[in-house]
C-alpha cells in the first residue's frame, strides 16, 4: 500500500516512536511518503535517506516556546505568528510536491495535522497513532484531571479538535484507563529495539534528564547529596564532584537508564514509557502549561511507579523520592512489560481492511 505518514516535529519523542512503526511498514513492503517538520526531519532523513521505498518531505510545523519549566502561550503565539507567512508557503509547496508524485491509499498520523488534512481533502482513511488521544478518548478520575480543572478541559478540547473523525485511533500508553469512545485501541508504549533488548540491572547512580531551560538551582544542589548523578540534556561533558555531565549518546543514555537507581526528568511520555518498561522508578516534573505531561506524571504517581512534582523540585523532595525507591520498585514489579506486537497486529488488521475496501470499490 501507499502510506502517507505525518509526524509532528515538536520534540523528538514522536519521531523515535514513528521510526518503530516505519521500520515495520518498510519490512512489510509498503511504499511510504513521510511528511515531517522540525528536528525530526533531519533525524528521519538520516535514517531513511537511502531507503528505496521511503521518501521524506519537510513541512512547516508549529513550535512551542518555553520560559523556565513552563510553556509560554504568549511567546508560542508570537513565535508562530512571526513564522506563519514562510510556513504557509513552505506547506503549499510541499503539498504540490506530494500530490504531484504520490497518491496515498491510507494516511497514518502521529498528531500531525498536515497529513490529516491531506487525508480529509482526498477522501483517504486516516489512522491515528500517538499517545495524546488518551486525553480525549478515555475516562480519567478526579485525581488525574485535577478535579476536572480548566487546564485539563482545555487540553482535552485541543486534542479532540486536532484529528476528529479518523478511521481508528491507536493510543500508546503505559496506563490503562477505560476507553469511552469507539474506534479506539490502547496499545503498550511504542519502544525502540534498543529498549526492548535492554536488561534491567539496578545500580547506584541517578539518571537526570534536564534541559537548558530547567531548574539550574536543582543541578547545583545535587552536589550536596550523597548520590552519584549522571546528567543528560545540558550539552556538557565533564565530571563535577558527584555529578557526571554526559554528552548526547543513545547507547550511553540507554545503558545509564537500564542501570539507574532512579530517573529524574520532565513529563515527556517517551522517556516515562521506557522507564516504566524497564521498571526504573521515576520522579517527574512536567512542564507547566502542558497538561498531557501532567496527565502522564499523575498516572505515574497514582500507579506507584514514581513521584509527581507539580512545581519546582527541591532537595528535600528529591531525597524523599530516592529513599522511597524500594516501594516504587515493588509497584513496578507488578507491571508486565510488552513489546510492539499488539500495535503491529492491530495496525496490520486496519491496513488490510482499508486495502480490501479500496479493492472492492475499484472492482465495483
| pLDDT score of 151 more than 80 | yes
User: What stretch of H or E contains 122?
Assistant: helix 113-122
Taking the C-alpha atoms of residue 284 and residue 263, their distance in angstroms, rounded to an integer, is 8
Decide which of 299 and 86 is more confident: 299
63 shares its domain with 8:
yes
Could you give the angle at the alpha carbon of 112 between the alpha carbons of 264 and 179, nearest 5°?
70
Write down the pLDDT at residue 312.
81
Only one residue has cell 476528529, namely 164
| Domains contained in the chain, number | 2
How confident is the model at residue 118, as a pLDDT?
93
Q: What is the pLDDT of residue 70?
A: 52
The rounded percent of the chain whose pLDDT value lies above 90 is 72
Residue 173 has pLDDT above 90, yes or no: yes
Q: In this predicted structure, which of 89-103, 124-138, 322-336 has the lowest mean pLDDT?
A: 89-103
Q: Are residues 217 and 299 in the same domain?
A: yes
Q: Residue 213's pLDDT is what?
A: 52
pLDDT band at 221 (very low <50, low <70, confident <90, very high): confident
What pLDDT was estimated at residue 364?
Answer: 44
User: Which pLDDT score is estimated for 71?
Assistant: 47
Is the same domain home to 177 and 307? no
The answer on 146 and 11 residing in a single domain is yes
Per-residue pLDDT, 72? 42
- Say how far apart CA 42 and CA 313 lie, in whole Å: 33
Residues 149-157, mean pLDDT to the nearest whole number: 93
d(C-alpha 175, C-alpha 134), whole Å: 10
Is 64 or 121 the better-scoring residue by pLDDT? 121
Looking at the structure, tell me whether residues 214 and 147 fall in a common domain. no
Mean pLDDT of 236-258: 95
Q: Average of pLDDT values for 172-200?
A: 97
| Distance from the Cα of residue 238 to its chain's centroid | 29
Question: How large is the average pLDDT for residues 339-353?
Answer: 97
How do residues 304-323 score in pLDDT, each as one tens digit?
A: 999 999 988 889 999 999 99
293 and 351 fall within a common domain: no
**pLDDT of 80 above 50:** no
Q: What is the pLDDT of residue 65?
A: 38
What's the whole-number mean pLDDT along residues 109-126?
93
Q: Using the predicted structure, report yes or no on whether residue 262 has a pLDDT greater than 60.
A: yes
What is the helix (H) or strand (E) element at residue 195, kind and residue range?
helix 193-196
- 68: CATH: 3.40.50.2000
The mean pLDDT value for 265-272 works out to: 94
- Is residue 166 pLDDT above 90, yes or no? yes
Report pLDDT for 66: 44
Q: Rounded distance, CA 157 to CA 154, Å?
A: 5
Q: Give the pLDDT confidence score for residue 49 in this predicted structure.
A: 86
Instruction: Please tell me whether residues 176 and 72 are part of one structural domain.
Output: yes
- One-character DSSP codes across 33-68: EEEE-THHHHHHHHHHTT-TTEEEEE-------EET
pLDDT, residue 290, reads 83
Say if residue 89 is in the same domain as residue 51. yes
Model confidence over 25-77: pLDDT tens digits? 999 999 999 999 878 888 999 999 889 999 999 886 544 434 555 544 455 34
Residue 130 CB: number of other CB atoms within 10 A?
A: 25
Q: What is the pLDDT at residue 12?
A: 76
215 phi and psi angles, rounded to 5 deg: -70, 100
Residue with cell 504540490: 96
> For the whole model, what pTM was predicted?
0.90
- Among 153, 186, 145, smallest CA distance to 273 is for 186
Cell of 117: 488534512
Domain holding 148, by residue range, is 2-190+340-363
Domain match, 253 and 109 both:
no
Residue indicated by cell numbers 517517551:
270
| pLDDT, position 265 | 94
Does the pLDDT value for residue 78 go beyond 80?
no
Question: Same domain for 259 and 120?
Answer: no
Residues 101 and 200 in one domain: no
Looking at the fold, whether 145 and 287 belong to one and the same domain comes out as no
Amino acid at each position: 500500500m501507499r502510506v502517507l505518514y505525518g509526524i509532528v516535529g515538536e520534540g523528538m519523542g514522536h519521531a523515535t516512536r514513528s521510526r518503530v512503526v516505519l521500520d515495520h511498514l518498510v519490512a512489510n513492503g509498503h511504499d511510504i511518503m513521510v511528511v515531517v517538520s522540525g528536528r525530526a526531519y533531519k533525524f528521519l532523513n538520516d535514517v531513511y535517506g537511502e531507503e528505496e521505498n521511503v521518501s521524506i518531505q519537510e513541512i512547516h510545523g508549529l513550535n512551542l516556546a518555553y520560559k523556565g519549566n513552563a510553556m509560554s502561550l504568549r511567546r508560542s503565539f508570537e513565535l508562530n505568528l512571526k513564522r506563519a507567512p514562510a510556513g504557509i508557503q513552505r506547506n503549499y509547496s510541499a503539498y504540490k510536491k506530494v500530490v504531484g508524485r504520490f497518491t496515498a491509499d491510507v494516511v497514518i498520523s502521529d498528531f500531525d495535522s498536515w497529513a490529516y488534512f491531506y487525508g480529509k481533502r482526498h477522501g483517504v482513511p486516516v489512522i491515528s497513532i500517538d499517545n495524546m488521544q488518551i486525553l480525549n478518548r478515555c475516562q480519567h478520575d478526579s485525581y488525574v484531571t485535577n478535579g476536572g480543572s480548566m487546564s485539563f478541559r482545555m487540553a482535552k478540547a485541543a486534542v479532540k479538535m486536532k484529528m476528529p473523525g479518523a478511521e481508528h485511533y491507536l493510543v500508546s500508553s503505559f496506563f490503562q484507563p477505560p476507553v469511552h469512545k469507539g474506534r479506539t485501541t490502547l496499545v503498550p508504549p511504542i519502544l525502540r529495539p534498543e529498549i526492548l533488548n535492554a536488561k534491567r540491572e539496578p545500580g547506584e547512580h541517578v539518571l537526570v534528564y534536564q534541559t537548558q531551560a530547567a531548574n539550574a538551582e536543582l543541578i547545583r544542589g545535587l552536589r550536596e547529596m550523597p548520590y552519584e548523578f549522571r546528567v543528560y540534556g545540558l550539552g556538557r561533558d565533564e565530571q563535577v564532584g558527584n555529578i557526571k555531565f554526559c554528552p548526547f549518546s543513545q547507547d550511553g543514555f540507554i545503558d545509564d537508564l537500564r542501570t539507574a537507581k532512579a530517573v529524574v526528568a520532565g513529563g515527556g511520555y517517551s522517556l516515562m514509557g521506557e522507564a516504566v518498561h524497564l521498571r526504573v522508578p521515576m520522579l517527574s516534573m512536567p512542564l507547566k502549561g502542558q497538561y498531557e505531561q501532567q496527565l502522564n506524571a499523575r498516572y505515574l504517581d497514582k500507579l506507584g511507579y514514581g513521584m509527581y512534582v507539580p512545581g519546582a523540585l527541591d532537595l528535600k523532595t528529591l531525597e524523599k523520592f530516592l529513599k522511597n525507591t524500594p516501594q516504587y520498585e515493588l509497584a513496578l514489579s507488578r507491571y508486565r512489560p510488552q513489546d510492539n506486537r499488539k500495535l503491529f497486529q492491530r495496525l496490520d488488521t486496519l491496513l488490510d481492511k482499508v486495502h480490501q475496501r479500496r479493492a472492492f470499490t475499484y472492482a465495483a
